């Protein structure tokens, strides 16, 4: 079957200039090359070329999901509220959830992810242990009212996701379904040509235990991951845990000393004034947890990772305190809080604030700090939480070597959910012994539309997009660089390539200069470019590799044979 697409009939309008609002390479190039167009913040249309790439990604995902025995279904995106109320997610999901009402006032949502609906489906369809295990998947449009939709299709408010769900009767079964997905994801991302890393993740709002992310290293990524240069440890920085501080001998420290510390509004000025390193100071961040003021203590040279804090305290809501929160609270002296004076406030602390360690911290009096404030002697820690932002050089939790950090795009996520959703919806099947067994679940996502942008980020160059063969919108881009004779040769070569089973894009546009056609071919990013130009009369064409830029002149028949065998 010949698959020849003539550019003269293709709806594609390339742009010379970057869109004004574009920050990332993939955003700029996908718009300029005519793959996608923006309709509103985080809402995008896929044009013919983009659609081909999106379809190719979906096909690879489908093939690999089918290969692990997963069955494809298609559930609605418009969902009733009740199942999400049963699991608590109607509220817990917060402002990211698109909620809406129908004409009768009944409430609905646009699905951000489908655990509830799949659980109900299996409850309806599977009644016995013999019906399990089962893995179901769909490739479907998801909706999330992201706080910062950005980078084009990398973070949309409407986007394509492959989501799958596994249902097992035993923990071992769940581990196996999880392992199957892990293997399938490795194959998917390898085939797509995406460089990726598997890292430990936190489970967040989804609940559950084991969870890993597939990250595509790229400068445009919004995730930071840590990896160990000496062992195989790798984790999203949000999931890196500090091994725990060593308890020290409290009696080694003198009594608490209160000092006047004028003009020391920051940790740096305080450390300089007292001639101590910032790491010897203890800073105390006040936050509201479900409305109640809580203090979080971390060494002065570290930052609190609010995302980590939220994960630890979920589903409680975490907010920063404002000036009003200090009214009527003489115990809270803004800027001079120290844990030794906080009687009515819960104190959470980083594990580095181990028992017996001494600190410089606020004296709970305006303009004064205290020295020799010892954990376990002068104040108690109510709970140790690992909430500091991980930094390059922090010890690897496995082998203590200094960690390295890198940026990446999250392209997939696999979770062992356990029985959280099955409990909420009473999903049981009859066991071997005739008694009901609670089902255990896994949930697994691939960002299908995001993968297109991630691939563009990893593969593009100065000239434009540069797709790996498996997902490129065509195998060969034939350019007619001249008038009638060149166009005729180009169309004939395109036909032959099509017959050989290749997907061909042929630039047969009249009145477009060869220079513009070459620029467009580089921008569109098909892996091979074949030019009918100067030596058309001799039947000689030029074959160019989009990635390496290598070019070669050869007779038509040889060029066709070469491309056909490369594909085979």
- In the DSSP assignment, the letter for residue 261 is -
CB of 414 to ligand ATP, least distance (A): 9
- For ligand ATP, the closer of residues 165 and 518 by Cβ is 165
- For ligand ATP, the closer of residues 24 and 281 by Cβ is 24
Core vs surface per residue 99-112: b (16+ CB within 10 A) or e: eeeeeeeeebbbbb
CB of 421 to ligand ATP, least distance (A): 15
User: Of all helices (H) and strands (E), which one includes residue 268?
Assistant: helix 267-274
- For ligand ATP, the closer of residues 297 and 447 by Cβ is 447
Stretch that binds ligand ATP, among 45-53, 152-160, 334-342, 543-551 (CB under 6 A): 152-160
Cα distances from 101 to residues 43, 104, 116, 142, in angstroms, run 21, 8, 19, 18
Q: Give the whole-angstrom CA distance, residue 460 versus residue 464.
A: 6
Q: Give the whole-angstrom CA distance, residue 261 versus residue 265.
A: 9
Query: What is the pattern of x (binds ligand ATP, CB under 6 A) and - over residues 492-531?
Result: ----------------------------------------
Stretch that binds ligand ATP, among 46-54, 59-67, 409-417, 526-534 (CB under 6 A): 409-417
Q: Give the whole-angstrom CA distance, residue 213 versus residue 204.
A: 12
Within residues 58-87, the interface with ligand ATP by CB under 6 A covers none
- For ligand ATP, the closer of residues 379 and 415 by Cβ is 415
Residue 159 binds ligand ATP (CB under 6 A): yes
511's CB contacts (< 8 A; 6+ apart) are none
CB of 201 to ligand ATP, least distance (A): 8
- For ligand ATP, the closer of residues 256 and 453 by Cβ is 453
Q: What are the backbone dihedrals phi and psi of residue 10, each rounded to the nearest 5 degrees, phi first?
A: -90, 135
Residue 245 binds ligand ATP (CB under 6 A): no
Give 143: exposed, middle or buried? Use CB within 10 Å, 0-12, 13-18, 19+.
Answer: buried
Residue 34 binds ligand ATP (CB under 6 A): no
CB of 282 to ligand ATP, least distance (A): 31
With CB under 6 A as the contact rule, the residue among 27, 28, 32, 144 that binds ligand ATP is 144
With CB under 6 A as the contact rule, the residue among 126, 360, 411, 471 that binds ligand ATP is 411
Within residues 450-479, the interface with ligand ATP by CB under 6 A covers 450
Residue 410 binds ligand ATP (CB under 6 A): yes
Within residues 421-450, the interface with ligand ATP by CB under 6 A covers 445, 447, 449-450
Cα distances from 491 to residues 449, 522, 532, in angstroms, run 32, 20, 10
In the block, tokens 């994960």 appear at: 311
Residue 352 binds ligand ATP (CB under 6 A): no
**Strand ordering across the sheet containing 292-299:** 318-320, 282-289, 292-299, 346-349, 383-384
Q: What are the backbone dihedrals phi and psi of residue 384, each rounded to the nearest 5 degrees, phi first?
A: -90, 130
Residue 413 binds ligand ATP (CB under 6 A): yes
- For ligand ATP, the closer of residues 83 and 149 by Cβ is 149
Residue 113 binds ligand ATP (CB under 6 A): yes
Residue 283 binds ligand ATP (CB under 6 A): no
Stretch that binds ligand ATP, among 44-52, 77-85, 154-162, 397-405 (CB under 6 A): 154-162
498's CB contacts (< 8 A; 6+ apart) are 1, 2, 3, 4, 504
- For ligand ATP, the closer of residues 223 and 394 by Cβ is 223
CA angle 6, 10, 13 (to 5 degrees): 125
Residue 92 binds ligand ATP (CB under 6 A): no
Q: Give the whole-angstrom CA distance, residue 332 versus residue 309.
A: 21
CB of 70 to ligand ATP, least distance (A): 16
Using Cβ positions, the residue closest to ligand ATP within the complex turns out to be 447
Which among 68, 98, 2, 119 has a CA at the least distance from the CA of 420? 119
Secondary structure percentages of the chain, helix, strand, coil, to 5: 30, 30, 40
Residue 161 binds ligand ATP (CB under 6 A): yes
CB of 156 to ligand ATP, least distance (A): 4
With CB under 6 A as the contact rule, the residue among 397, 412, 525, 527 that binds ligand ATP is 412
Cα distances from 187 to residues 62, 67, 176, 542, in angstroms, run 12, 10, 17, 34
In the block, tokens 């949930």 appear at: 443
CB of 193 to ligand ATP, least distance (A): 16
Give strand pairing partners of 160: 141
Residue 181 binds ligand ATP (CB under 6 A): no
- For ligand ATP, the closer of residues 193 and 376 by Cβ is 193
CB of 510 to ligand ATP, least distance (A): 39
| Joined tokens for residue 387 | 């909430």
State the number of binding residues for ligand ATP (CB under 6 A). Answer: 15
H, E, C per residue of 24-76: CHHHHHHHHCCCEEEEECCEEEECHHHHHHHHHHHHHHHHHHHHCCCEECCCC
- Residues forming the site for ligand ATP (CB under 6 A): 113, 144, 146, 155-156, 159, 161, 410-413, 445, 447, 449-450
């Amino acid at each position: 079957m010949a698959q020849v697409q003539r550019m003269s009939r293709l709806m594609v309008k390339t742009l010379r200039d970057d869109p004004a609002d574009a920050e990332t390479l993939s955003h700029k190039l996908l718009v300029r090359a005519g793959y996608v167009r923006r309709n509103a913040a985080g809402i995008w249309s896929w044009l013919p070329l983009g659609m081909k790439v999106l379809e190719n990604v979906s096909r690879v995902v489908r093939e690999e999901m089918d290969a692990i025995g997963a069955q494809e279904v298609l559930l609605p995106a418009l969902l009733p509220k009740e199942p999400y109320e049963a699991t608590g997610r109607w509220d817990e999901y917060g402002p990211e959830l698109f909620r809406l009402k129908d004409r009768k006032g009944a409430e609905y949502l646009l699905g951000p992810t489908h655990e509830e609906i799949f659980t109900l489906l299996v409850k309806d369809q599977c009644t016995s242990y013999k019906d399990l295990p089962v893995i179901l998947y769909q490739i479907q449009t998801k909706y999330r009212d992201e706080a910062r939709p950005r980078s084009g299709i990398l973070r949309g408010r409407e986007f394509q996701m492959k989501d799958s769900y596994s249902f097992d009767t035993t923990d071992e079964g769940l581990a196996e379904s999880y392992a199957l997905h892990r293997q399938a994801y490795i194959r998917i991302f390898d085939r797509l040509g995406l460089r990726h890393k598997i890292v430990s993740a936190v489970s967040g709002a989804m609940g559950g235990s084991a969870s890993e992310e597939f990250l595509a290293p790229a400068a445009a990524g919004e995730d930071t991951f840590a990896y160990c240069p000496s062992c195989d440890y790798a984790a999203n920085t949000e999931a890196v845990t500090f091994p725990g501080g060593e308890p020290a001998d409290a009696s080694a420290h003198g009594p608490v000393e209160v000092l006047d510390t004028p003009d020391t509004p920051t940790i740096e000025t305080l450390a300089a004034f007292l001639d101590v390193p910032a790491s010897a100071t203890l800073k105390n961040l006040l936050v509201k947890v479900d409305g109640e003021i809580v203090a979080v203590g971390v060494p002065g040279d570290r930052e609190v990772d609010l995302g980590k804090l939220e994960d630890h305290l979920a589903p409680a809501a975490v907010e920063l305190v404002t000036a009003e929160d200090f009214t009527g609270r003489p115990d809270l002296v803004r800027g001079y809080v120290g844990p030794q004076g906080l009687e009515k406030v819960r104190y959470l602390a980083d594990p580095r604030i181990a028992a017996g360690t001494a600190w410089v911290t606020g004296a709970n009096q305006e303009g004064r700090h205290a020295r020799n404030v010892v954990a376990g002697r002068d104040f108690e820690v109510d709970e140790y939480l690992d909430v500091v932002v991980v930094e390059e050089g922090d010890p690897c939790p496995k082998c203590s070597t200094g960690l390295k950090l890198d940026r990446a795009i999250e392209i997939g996520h696999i979770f062992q959910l356990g029985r959280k959703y099955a409990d909420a919806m009473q999903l049981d099947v009859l066991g071997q012994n005739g008694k009901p067994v609670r089902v255990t679940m896994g949930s697994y996502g691939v960002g299908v539309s995001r993968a297109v942008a991630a691939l563009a980020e990893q593969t593009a160059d100065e000239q434009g997009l540069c797709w790996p063969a498996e997902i490129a919108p065509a195998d060969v881009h034939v350019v007619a660089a001249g008038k009638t004779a060149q166009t005729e040769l180009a169309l004939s070569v395109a036909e032959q390539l099509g017959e050989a089973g290749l997907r061909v894009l042929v630039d047969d546009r009249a009145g477009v200069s060869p220079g513009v056609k070459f620029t467009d071919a580089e921008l569109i990013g098909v892996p091979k470019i074949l030019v009918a130009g100067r030596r058309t009369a001799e039947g000689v064409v030029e074959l160019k590799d989009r990635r390496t830029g290598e070019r070669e002149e050869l007779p038509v028949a040889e060029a066709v044979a070469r491309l056909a065998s490369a594909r085979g």
